[in-house]
């Protein structure tokens, strides 16, 4: 009886430790720089999650559009891997952002790789051979729907709160921020709530936010990003600046008050002479 009780205590303790263990996830690329027709391995490892649920990989192109969205199985040791072949006709030049997530953790791992210039074969036969050696992954859209977002930030703050609503509640939302000159600044993922609402905090500042001007925040859904909505935020010196309309109204109000006061003093001066 004592042995059984001791066994049960040890078993319960192991289950408790496993239940409260903090999961971790990491993702890497086989190369930080590839050519336009090359392939690249995406590898990683995750701990303390259900291996029956796959890893969600998202690959965003230099323009912020979703290029790949495969579901990758997890091996017994927690590792996962996926070979990305160049899409037809090739990868576009620029930096690609890769994120890896899992339903059992809020953590999202990310990495990136850069595609550099490569001469594409102009010989028709060579082009046909190149296309036949490429395996293109085709995924159907999850459905049609609508999405709406808004931004809330305080003047001078380094935090932008993005809130929104979507009619597709069973699909993750990808948020991307594009700089004034078109560079991908950051990427984030969020799952909508039971009623379709969602909220994400975006931190500004740092080398990626060094440009002054209008940054575009885009929320997209679906395997092909067919559902999307964008808003713009003004950034200066790495922080949020107030809307021009608000400043203009304050200046106008002060100017009007000044004119009224000057006019009143002038009238009083005229009347005092008589």
**Interval 231-257: pLDDT, tens:** 888 888 888 875 533 444 454 456 556
Nearest to 83 by CA among 39, 35, 133, 114: 39
* Residue 170 pLDDT > 80: no
At 176 the pLDDT is 87
DSSP string, 86-147: PPSS-PPSEEEEEEEEETTEEEEEEEEEEEEP-PPP-SHHHHHHHHHT-------------E
* Residue 190 pLDDT > 60: yes
Q: What is the helix, strand, coil percentage profile of the chain, to 5?
A: 20, 40, 40
**Phi and psi at residue 70, to the nearest 5°:** -80, 155
User: Would you list the domain boundaries of the chain?
Assistant: 22-132, 147-244
Cβ neighbours of residue 127 closer than 8 Å, sequence gap 6 or more: 89, 120, 121
Per residue in 113-128, pLDDT (tens digit) is 999 986 655 544 444 4
At 139 the pLDDT is 37
**Structure tokens of 188?**
């984030």
Task: Tell me if residue 85 falls in helix, strand or coil.
Answer: coil
**Per-residue exposure over 134-152, b if at least 16 CB sit within 10 Å of its own CB, e if not:** eeeeeeeebeebebebebe
Please compute the mean of the pLDDT values over residues 220-235 and round it to a whole number: 80
Residues 190, 199: contact at Cβ < 8 Å?
yes
Superfamily of domain 22-132: Macroglobulin (MG2) domain (2.60.40.1930)
Same fold, 22-132 and 147-244: yes
Q: Which of 12-21, 130-139, 255-264 has the lowest mean pLDDT?
A: 130-139
How many angstroms from the chain centroid is the CA of residue 65?
10
Please compute the mean of the pLDDT values over residues 61-84 and round it to a whole number: 91
Residue 47: count of CB within 10 angstroms of its CB: 13
Map 8-66 to HEC letters: HHHHHHHHHHHHHCCCEEEEEECCCEEECCCCEEEEEEEECCCCCCCEEEEEECCCCCE
Task: Tell me if residue 189 falls in helix, strand or coil.
Answer: strand
* Residue 272 pLDDT > 70: no
* Residue 20 pLDDT > 50: no
Edge-to-edge strand list for the sheet holding 79-84: 24-29, 40-47, 79-84
At 255 the pLDDT is 57
d(CA 156, CA 179): 18
d(CA 47, CA 22): 8
Q: Which residue has the higher pLDDT, 132 or 25?
A: 25
Superfamily of domain 147-244: Macroglobulin (MG2) domain (2.60.40.1930)
Task: Tell me if residue 172 falls in helix, strand or coil.
Answer: coil
At 81 the pLDDT is 93
**Structure tokens of 269?**
């001066």
* Residue 141 pLDDT > 80: no
């Amino acid at each position: 009886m004592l042995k059984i009780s001791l066994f049960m205590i040890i078993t319960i303790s192991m289950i408790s430790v496993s239940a409260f263990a903090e999961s971790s996830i990491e993702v890497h690329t086989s190369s930080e720089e590839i050519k336009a027709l090359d392939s690249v391995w995406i590898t990683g490892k995750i701990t303390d999650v259900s291996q029956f649920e796959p890893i969600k990989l998202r690959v965003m192109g230099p323009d912020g559009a979703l290029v790949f969205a495969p579901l990758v199985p997890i091996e017994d040791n927690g590792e996962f891997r996926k070979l990305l072949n160049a899409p037809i006709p090739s990868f576009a030049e620029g930096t690609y952002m890769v994120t890896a997530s899992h339903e059992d953790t809020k953590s999202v791992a990310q990495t990136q790789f850069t595609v550099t210039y490569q001469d594409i074969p102009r010989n028709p036969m060579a082009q046909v051979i190149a296309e036949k050696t490429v395996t293109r992954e085709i995924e159907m859209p999850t459905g049609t729907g609508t999405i709406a977002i808004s931004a809330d930030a305080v003047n001078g703050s380094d935090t932008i709160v993005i809130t929104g609503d979507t009619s597709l509640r069973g699909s993750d939302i990808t948020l991307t921020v594009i700089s004034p000159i078109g560079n991908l600044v950051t990427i984030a993922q969020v799952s909508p709530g039971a009623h379709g609402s969602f909220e994400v905090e975006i931190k500004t500042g740092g080398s990626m936010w060094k440009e002054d001007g209008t940054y575009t925040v885009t929320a997209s859904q679906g395997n092909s990003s067919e559902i999307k909505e964008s808003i713009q935020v003004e950034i200066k010196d790495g922080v949020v600046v107030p809307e021009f309309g608000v400043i203009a109204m304050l200046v106008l109000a002060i100017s009007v008050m000044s004119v009224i006061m000057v006019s009143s003093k002038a009238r009083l001066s005229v009347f005092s002479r008589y």
